[in-house]
């Protein structure tokens, strides 16, 4: 961006615009993506707690030494502008999304097989993305405004 240096303060404006362009081209874009992904992760976890309770655990599922499996979500940045969301543990999110049919668990290390019941799917992951999608432009705009404000100092 080039602004005429005849204007009062044009040099300072050029410097600020160059600083902003530098920030948005590389690490700034990565920061915006990270901030947006953190907001989306919060929505994912809030939706899971809505379906399984405020403790964030599937309490009927056992995993030694504690009772219950904690439902989490994470993300990895694939590029400066792309984040991939990872359900953790994947099996729990599958059950929350689509449900499961009753059955018998596999036998492991000479332990007897266990029966488990039907679990209805609650579309947790899909419902969260239905809430996230319209909010992404707002989160990106907020992060971009903060980046612009910081480059203007």
pLDDT in tens, 84-96: 888 888 888 888 8
Cβ-Cβ contacts under 8 Å for 73 (sequence gap 6 or more): 41, 44, 45, 48, 85, 86, 87, 88, 93
How many percent of the chain have pLDDT more than 70?
80
Report whether 86 contacts 74 (CB < 8 A).
yes
User: Within the chain, which residues score under 70 in pLDDT?
Assistant: 1-14, 16-17, 19-23, 62-66, 153
């Amino acid at each position: 961006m080039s602004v005429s240096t005849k204007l009062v303060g044009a040099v300072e404006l050029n410097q600020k615009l160059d600083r902003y362009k530098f920030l948005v081209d590389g690490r700034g874009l990565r920061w915006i993506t990270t901030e947006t992904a953190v907001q989306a992760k919060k929505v994912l976890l809030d939706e899971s707690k809505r379906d399984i309770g405020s403790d964030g655990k599937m309490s009927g599922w056992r995993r030694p030494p504690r009772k219950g499996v904690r439902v989490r979500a994470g993300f990895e940045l694939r590029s400066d502008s792309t984040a991939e969301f990872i359900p953790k543990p994947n099996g729990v999110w599958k059950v929350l999304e689509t449900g499961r049919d009753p059955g018998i668990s596999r036998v492991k290390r000479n332990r007897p097989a266990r029966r488990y019941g039907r679990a209805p799917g609650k579309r947790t992951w899909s419902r969260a993305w239905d809430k996230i999608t319209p909010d992404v432009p707002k989160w990106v705009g907020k992060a971009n405004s903060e980046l612009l404000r910081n480059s203007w100092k």
